[in-house]
Amino acid sequence: MKWFILLVGIVVLCGVVALLLGYVGGGMGRTTTTLSHEPLPEDELSDADVEQLRFDVGLRGYRMSEVDAVIGRLRRALKEKDEQIAVLRGEPSGPVERRETPSAG
pLDDT digits (tens, 9 = 90+) for 37-75: 777 778 887 778 887 777 777 777 888 888 888 888 899
Q: Which residue has the higher pLDDT, 85 or 27?
A: 85
* pLDDT at residue number 64: 84
C-alpha 73 chain-centroid distance: 15
Reported pTM: 0.46
Instruction: Assess contact for 83 and 91: CB atoms under 8 A.
Output: no
pLDDT value for 46: 79
SS3 57: strand
Cα 99 from Cα 58, distance rounded (Å): 40
**Amino acid code (one letter) for 55:** F
Q: Are 79 and 71 in contact (CB under 8 A)?
A: no
Cβ 37 vs Cβ 54: under 8 Å: yes
Distance CA 80, CA 43 (A): 12
* 102: pLDDT strictly greater than 80: no
Distance (Å, whole) CA 86 – CA 98: 12
pLDDT per residue as tens digits for the range 10-44:
999 988 887 777 676 654 555 445 566 777 778 88
